[in-house]
Chain A
Amino acid sequence: MTRNFTTDKSMTTSEPSRRSVLRAVMYTAAAVPFGLPLAACATGGGGGEDEQSASPGGTVDAKNPFGMAENTTIDAVIFDGGYGVDYVEFAGTVLAGLHDGSSVKVSPSTQIATELQPRFVGGNPPDLVDNSGAQSIGFNTILDQLEDLTDVIDAPNVEGTTIRDTLYEGVLEPGTYGDKFAALNYVLTVYGVWYSGTLFEKNGWQPPTTWEEAKALGAEAKKADKYLFLWGTEAATYYQTLAIESAIKEGGDEVRLALENLKPDCWSHDALQATFSIMKEIVDAGYFKPGGSGTQFTAAQAQWSNKQEALLYPSGSWIENEMKDQTADDFQMKGVPSFSVTANAAMPATALHLTAGEPFIVPSQAKSVAGGKELLRVMLSKEAATNFSKTKLAPTIVKDIVPEDGFGSTALVSQTEMLSGAGSDIFTFNFVNTYGMNQEQLPIWNSFLDGKKSVADLTKELQAITDRIANDDTIEKIEVS
């Protein structure tokens, strides 16, 4: 055994003793990290080409627009996050009812990238994937291995209406990369600032619509021995999202496009700088609950939703479902659109950051591409969408599903109100996710919210990340317009 380790010069002169064996063992152990990136390896496995032509099989008609073969078992890997996987199982049951003999096998996963990486390489990816969560696969890495889902949108839904006509406006954009509609984002996500209706009513507070009002409310909160905001270390960038929203409202598309297309000095735009400055004032005034940079984010969120130590929390609309078990009784969660910076902003105060989340993808090499698409079609049916909104208290991208009473959820009612208030003044941005910047931005925002960074530092460091990606030719850029 020791002969393998010829790097050690002394080895040639000495007999293999206990000592040298021990040393050899150590070298072996020292080499352990070598194996790390190879948790799943071997590119040689894939015989993808011949599988691609897997039999389309079934007949194509209005009931089966993609020609799914009979007796198909659809293989779906679903991110098991805030929304669970039961809504896909529900759609699976509906699908089984529509197509005798076919069924859906739903596998939950929280580690999409690590779990599916070998399957993509091996050429046998699942038929449908919910590529979501912290461990999702970066879209620029797998884009050319995905089906264009335009035909799903143009197909009739289970009730017979063309699916495109049943969807909210702008919800296809988050899944469109260049000219390819590669991901169908199922859940409608309304970004805003959330608060307790009961608490505000009791104290006679008004939810702020501008940053100045927010600052004034911070002073009120201080009097009530509360904080205005709080944050958790993994979610510090929620405040980045809020800042970008305010800046886009202030400066319009100009700000959005500069950020999306990784332009030089995009973070130095006046609108962003104005937002950062007033945020800094709020941080310096002590209106942020200290210690956020060391607090796990759901624990921090519970300090807002359960202990009510802070008044406001900026987040997407998943927050209600995420904190369901840790929300004070009679909290009456409500939301307002992100704050404006000045009165003469480019967009009205009601303008809304609206996007769709939970990107569902159909890999081209999947055994049953038609099956994956068919399951998506069923998920977009009225029955499945209603089931989702009712059980998850969140809207899907399918319109006219949520009733007046929001299934008893004030947050859901408030989302519907924000949506109708915004009308066509909706916007979204993707660059953070597209280029996987969040991880790098988190420490910067943690320090900023801690009061340890100036606006100049913040701007410089965020710009450095943008510049690094912009100048890295190995990263494929996606032009946004």
Chain B
Amino acid sequence: MTAIPGAGQVLPTDEGAPAGPGRGPRRGRRAGGWSFDTVSFFVVFLGLPLALFLVFVIWPFAQAAFYALTNWSGFTTEFDVVGLANFTTLLQDPRFTNAVGNSVMFGLFIPFITIVIALTFAILITVGGSGRGQVRGVRGSGFYRVVSLFPYVIPAIAVGIMWRLILDPSNGLVNGILTGLGLERFQSFAWLGNVGTAMPVTMFVVVWGFVGFYMLLFIAAIKGVPSEIYEAARIDGAGRWRTSWSITLPLIRDNVQTAYIYLGIIALDLFVYVQALNPQGGPDNSTLVMSQQLFRTAFTEGKFGYASAMGVAMAVVTLVFAALVFTVNRLAGGRSERGRA
């Protein structure tokens, strides 16, 4: 929006030259915002993205919401509109409610654990170093920064497959090390095949994959905090804990919130990871998530209408999650725009 007067400002120079052959003045005042510059600007920077957004985002959403009201099988051109029947079935479908439960567990734990670890590392790397002299990170922080990003560089599916091999009961690295240490009970222990361990292990793999990236995000945020603040705090006698809790965290609050929501969205989807680690849904379906159940319903059971209803439900769960994060942040005092300067 602010670009309009900006583009207009170029024109008055023309207007101020009365000797012009009439071209300048005519266009100048009347057309105002409608010069070629302005129009092309609108088309390229507003029209095009908006069109793409409408066609590839909003229109599919609308279609999904519509198909959620039908009994479309997915393979024919015919279907009946069944109203909200799909949603009532959904509420009574133990397979889906179980999947929602699992997704919620992932959505609760993965963002929290990832952020705690990423934040801790970020603080150590940026301001957690020696208490004397300039404010800096621990020794070798540049090295840690690079290394910790490695997992994020690997595609999710490769992460899943790799960990599946590492966790293989008979030939995997994990059990190899554990039995090597004399822990015989891990001989052929199925980490992904026991109800008690399958979900924690899946969470671990996802966290492992994302910590590096979010650490980098927090490092960038902390770098944006003026170091005078840290120095002042240190002069006042604040230790590392105190600075982290009372200075770093409040000043990068917005970044933490953003990270929380993105991670929440990832955790509520999680399709690639669970499909690679436990394609059949895990022991007693303990790692079956909404997206997996959706895919199954659509493609193996041929119920696209019902699957679309699941998609809508998934979106609702995700929006509720985002709303919760905003609310919590606001209640915790995040409304005021401190540190914006």
- Among the stretches A29-37, A217-225, A386-394, the one at the interface with B is A29-37
B6 close to A (CB within 8 Å): no
Convert A103-115 into 0s and 1s, putting 1 for each residue whose CB lies closer than 8 angstroms to a CB of B: 0000000000110
Return the chain A residue nearest B292 by Cβ: A439
- Among the stretches A65-73, A138-146, A246-254, the one at the interface with B is A138-146
Cα A439 to Cα B279 in complex, Å, equals: 9
Return the chain B residue nearest A138 by Cβ: B302
List chain B residues, Cβ under 8 A from A41: 60, 63-64, 67
B150 close to A (CB within 8 Å): no
List chain B residues, Cβ under 8 A from A440: 95
List chain A residues, Cβ under 8 A from B65: 34
- Our pick among B77, B190, B279, B280 for the contact of A43 (Cβ within 8 Å) is B77
Cα A30 to Cα B261 in complex, Å, equals: 8
State which residues 413-451 of A face B: CB under 8 Å.
436, 439-440, 442-444, 446-447, 450
Cα A138 to Cα B296 in complex, Å, equals: 11
- Among the stretches B10-18, B22-30, B161-169, B209-217, the one at the interface with A is B161-169
Cβ distance B229 to chain A, nearest Cβ, rounded Å: 21
Q: With contacts A121-B77, A142-B75, A303-B170 known, is A36 near B281, CB below 8 A?
A: no
B273 close to A (CB within 8 Å): no
Q: With contacts A290-B190, A436-B300, A439-B300 known, is A33 near B314, CB below 8 A?
A: yes
A450 engages B190 (CB within 8 Å): yes
Return the chain A residue nearest B290 by Cβ: A33
Cα A294 to Cα B283 in complex, Å, equals: 9
A34 engages B312 (CB within 8 Å): yes
Return the chain B residue nearest A237 by Cβ: B280
Contact size range, B = 35 or more
Cα A140 to Cα B95 in complex, Å, equals: 21
A443 engages B67 (CB within 8 Å): no
Cβ distance B128 to chain A, nearest Cβ, rounded Å: 28
Cα A123 to Cα B303 in complex, Å, equals: 19
Cα A120 to Cα B302 in complex, Å, equals: 12
- Our pick among B168, B281, B307, B321 for the contact of A296 (Cβ within 8 Å) is B168
- Among the stretches A20-28, A94-102, A166-174, the one at the interface with B is A20-28
Return the chain A residue nearest B49 by Cβ: A1
A138 engages B191 (CB within 8 Å): no
Cα A27 to Cα B323 in complex, Å, equals: 9
State which residues 70-105 of B face A: CB under 8 Å.
71-77, 79, 95
Convert A299-317 into 0s and 1s, putting 1 for each residue whose CB lies closer than 8 angstroms to a CB of B: 1000100000100000000
B285 engages A293 (CB within 8 Å): no
| Number of A-B residue pairs having CB atoms within 8 Å of each other in the complex | 193
- Among the stretches B114-122, B218-226, B233-241, B262-270, the one at the interface with A is B262-270
B190 engages A23 (CB within 8 Å): no
Return the chain B residue nearest A22 by Cβ: B258
A178 close to B (CB within 8 Å): no
List chain A residues, Cβ under 8 A from B281: 439, 442-443
Cβ distance B79 to chain A, nearest Cβ, rounded Å: 7
B134 close to A (CB within 8 Å): no
Convert B179-204 into 0s and 1s, putting 1 for each residue whose CB lies closer than 8 angstroms to a CB of A: 00000000111111111000000000
A344 close to B (CB within 8 Å): no
State which residues 227-257 of A face B: CB under 8 Å.
233-234
Cα A28 to Cα B319 in complex, Å, equals: 10
Cα A292 to Cα B283 in complex, Å, equals: 11
List chain B residues, Cβ under 8 A from A93: none
A343 close to B (CB within 8 Å): no
B64 engages A293 (CB within 8 Å): no
State which residues 88-147 of B face A: CB under 8 Å.
95
Cβ distance A147 to chain B, nearest Cβ, rounded Å: 15
List chain A residues, Cβ under 8 A from B164: 296
- Our pick among B63, B279, B300, B315 for the contact of A30 (Cβ within 8 Å) is B315
List chain A residues, Cβ under 8 A from B171: 299
Further 15 A-B residue pairs, CB within 8 A, beyond A19-B337, A29-B265: A22-B258, A30-B261, A31-B315, A31-B319, A33-B265, A123-B77, A141-B73, A145-B75, A289-B170, A290-B188, A293-B283, A294-B192, A439-B281, A442-B280, A444-B284
Per CB-CB distance, the 7 closest pairs between chain A and chain B, nearest first, are A291-B169, A293-B193, A294-B190, A141-B302, A294-B193, A291-B188, A442-B280
Question: What are 14 inter-chain pairs, A to B, with CB distance below 8 A?
Answer: A27-B322, A29-B261, A31-B61, A37-B64, A43-B77, A46-B77, A140-B302, A141-B73, A233-B192, A290-B189, A293-B193, A303-B170, A439-B300, A446-B280
B residues apposed to A, CB below 8 Å: 57, 60-61, 63-65, 67, 71-77, 79, 95, 164-165, 167-171, 187-195, 254, 258, 261-262, 265, 268-269, 278-285, 290-291, 294-296, 298-304, 307-308, 310-312, 314-315, 318-319, 321-322, 326, 337
